[in-house]
Amino acid sequence: NEKLYEDIKKDAKAKGYASQWAEALKIYDSQKARLDSEREVYSTADTEKRNSLKPQILAKEKEVEKLKASIKNLEKLIREEELKKQ
């Protein structure tokens, strides 16, 4: 793992991907926590509140899924860069 980390630090492209990955992961964690919080509120809300929360929750779910896909793509790009160096 340490050698891998050193290789990433030396390669500008992999370093850029790793930086993007770390930022996307932070955003994902934050958005996922918000989504979980909204779902908790939804589960105990009355009908009117539920109806107002539905669009927010659906939009947040789509955003979280896009972030998840982006993270997986960045992981793939990082691995590809690593393999090029071997």
User: pLDDT tens for residues 47-81?
Assistant: 999 999 999 999 999 999 999 999 999 999 988 88
Q: Looking at residue 59, what is its pLDDT? A: 97
59 within 8 A of 52, measured Cβ to Cβ: no
First-last CA distance in the chain:
14
pLDDT of 8 above 80? no
Residue 18's CB is within 10 A of a number of other CB atoms, namely: 19
Q: Looking at residue 14, what is its pLDDT? A: 79
Nearest-angstrom CA–CA distance, 10 and 65: 31
48 within 8 A of 63, measured Cβ to Cβ: no
What percent of the chain lies above the pLDDT cut of 70? 86
